[in-house]
A and B are shown apart, each in its own frame.
Chain A
């Protein structure tokens, strides 16, 4: 199937070899009718793999084996489809955003409405799939990491639905800032453990989840929340999100009769983006854009623009781009959006960046918040702040497309699909604080100052 992954056996590939990749690779594959879709891992070019303690390799093998068999089992795929349809509310809509499009150079803009899924974001696709996998393995307990609480809430939801015990690791600082999301997880029956190790952020929550997993791997599945980590997580998480791109491709063809010129998504660990991109990977005329968190500006050092400024390294089980100092210590990332505030990125994105199939650009906090406001006011949709990065990116891409028209072409001939990965309910306090909408003495003002995301 995919010749490029012919040496994907763990022994075979020379994963440590190269930082640089032949830029013509994507072109070569496509011109030979080879597909970039369904890349099975463990390697995506020089990225991916399993940089993990031996203690966990057996669990990763079991997971991979269970996942492979599940994919081939019609009963499993039917179960996933059923939950997607009758629990999560799929297919999600594809909504044309005509008034927002005026801010995008006048090109046509379509929003893939993952915000309308149960729990309010794309995260539900992955947690339902992985919780089913956990049950197939006979595990009774799932653990998860969370930053602001989105993936924690989604995991707690899936665990409640399927009768699994759920433990969520969350940085101690975040548990204070996100007290309402902690309560939400607890209402769903989950236990939230504040992480006091290291920098007490999302990456440390992942470290503690891994430590729990090593000690409890007999009973426990680690329900990783993004398309990163050791094999098979990147390809498995992508698999459960592929429904985004598959639906979007069908919907855009149905609504416009053609494929889009560009597809935009925000990139934290990369799960919503890879799920969306996957539907279009082999459509060589569709440009793919991933927007990373530029924080206060990439020149300030306070950002999470991993692909833009990181260097290849290993963290949490995969080789990929990584924000690291010259000693190889992981650097702290910064973003107004908790969901993008991660110093690593999924390995398939690193590969797609190197071969030039997808482009990755930083969006600053300020640019994202401007797009947040514009979408809210032009379309009546309050996006997640993560998603606002994709929207700000779409505004830039649209303006570029409009500036670059061929003779006889009009801006309205151009089409962009944006993955609206989540809704902004959780971000209302942050946004209200940012736009100074709160009276000085309100309780919310205090919360917003601490960066609370409700």
Chain B
């Protein structure tokens, strides 16, 4: 697979102080693709999210992604939206995201990123939100409806606080936008595997590899693939060309149906797929 110069200084490659980059590089050094697990905060309650996050970290996840439940999650499919609706109905409020992040980072050394639609951040204030996230030990933000073009304030504040900025790239992303997005990202670049929303799929399709290759060519050192991944077989397939694999819906469904123990079990199963085939190891 592609090798990348390690002294690239653009923001897209800047690993210095990046918790997400460190987690992915650690996996790489062990000959693995990083495993990234997603759960929405407050589903069904805050303590369970913390327990499930810790369980993921103890069973093979390198990076934890915690979503803020939001009223209008346009990039999410039914399973995740149902979970976030329940979290909100159970009284989740945005400031509790910092309790979740702190609860997990205190108990494990997994990097914890927050996945959030942009309005809740804007409402609290980008700076206030970022400072509280940093204080809670959070690594940074994954922003599904914020493109770098609109992110001036977040670029500035995240730079100042050393927070990761994970923007998305998609099969439809033009070469110019790919370059701009890679350059604006910090930690890793999130490659959307298919044109669609979150939800388990039996196959993530060939488009994903093309997106990852394009991001690597644009200089991204770490590209992780999300949307639709639900089995260790898919983790293995994607891990062969990507630097990390993101699993969401399958973990949410596991938590819904079997609680924290089911999350731990699925994480163990998924993590059996992360070993890179020897020829592909880039460590």
Which residues in A have some Cβ–Cβ distance to B below 8 Å? 10-11, 14-17, 49-59, 61, 197-199, 203-204, 207, 210-211, 214-218, 311, 313-316, 322, 324, 326-330
Contacts and interface: CB of A to CB of B under 8 A. Distances in A.
Nearest to A216: B195
Contacts of B120: 327-329
B119 A198 contact: no
A52 B145 contact: yes
A218 B195 CA distance: 10
Contact of A214 (B88, B118, B196): B196
Q: Which of B88, B144, B172 has the most CB of A within 10 A?
A: B172
A315 B71 CA distance: 10
Interface of B: 70-75, 77-78, 81, 85, 88, 93-94, 118-124, 126, 144-147, 149-154, 167-174, 177, 181, 192, 195-197
A269 to B, nearest CB: 15
Nearest to B173: A54
A10 B151 CA distance: 10
B85 A198 contact: yes
Contacts of A211: 74-75, 77, 196-197
Contacts of A314: 118-119, 122, 145
Contacts of B122: 16, 313-314, 328
A324 B197 contact: no
B172 A197 contact: no
A54 B169 contact: yes
Q: Which of A15, A199, A204, A207 has the most CB of B within 10 A?
A: A207
A96 B83 CA distance: 55
A10 B149 CA distance: 6
B150 A197 contact: no
16 contacts: A11-B149, A14-B152, A16-B151, A52-B147, A57-B173, A57-B177, A58-B170, A58-B174, A198-B71, A211-B75, A214-B75, A214-B195, A328-B70, A328-B120, A328-B121, A328-B122
Contacts of A327: 93-94, 120, 123-124
A203 B119 CA distance: 15
Nearest to A344: B72
A55 B192 contact: yes
A329 B88 CA distance: 10
B83 to A, nearest CB: 12
B207 to A, nearest CB: 11
A410 B136 CA distance: 67
B195 A217 contact: yes
Contact of B153 (A10, A16, A50, A216): A16
Contacts of B169: 54
A50 B147 contact: yes
Given A314-B118, A328-B120, A328-B124, A15 B150 contact: yes
A210 B119 contact: no
Contacts of A49: 149-150
Nearest 9 Cβ contacts at the A-B interface: A328-B123, A328-B120, A55-B170, A10-B149, A58-B172, A327-B94, A16-B153, A328-B119, A215-B196
Given A214-B196, A216-B195, A329-B120, 20 more contacts: A11-B149, A16-B150, A16-B154, A17-B152, A51-B150, A54-B170, A55-B168, A55-B170, A55-B192, A58-B177, A61-B174, A198-B85, A207-B73, A211-B196, A217-B195, A313-B123, A316-B74, A328-B94, A328-B119, A330-B119
Given A58-B173, A197-B78, A328-B121, A15 B181 contact: no
A137 B121 CA distance: 36
A290 B114 CA distance: 39
A215 to B, nearest CB: 4
A199 B88 CA distance: 12
A43 to B, nearest CB: 10
B97 to A, nearest CB: 10
Nearest to B167: A54
Q: Which of A15, A210, A329 has the most CB of B within 10 A?
A: A329
Contacts of A16: 122, 126, 150-154
B208 to A, nearest CB: 13
A367 B149 CA distance: 43
B170 to A, nearest CB: 4
B119 A57 contact: no
B153 A51 contact: no
Nearest to B73: A207
Nearest to A211: B197
Contacts of A313: 119, 122-123
A230 B133 CA distance: 28
A51 B118 contact: yes
Contacts of B172: 54-59, 217
B132 to A, nearest CB: 14
B130 to A, nearest CB: 13
A15 B152 contact: yes
Contact of B181 (A11, A54, A55, A330): A54
Contacts of B121: 328
A203 B72 contact: yes
A330 B71 contact: yes
A54 B172 CA distance: 8
Contacts of B152: 14-17
A349 B174 CA distance: 32
A14 B155 CA distance: 12
A17 B167 CA distance: 20
B174 to A, nearest CB: 6
A316 B67 CA distance: 19
A197 B118 contact: no
A197 B81 contact: yes
A40 B248 CA distance: 39
A210 B74 contact: yes
A324 B78 contact: no
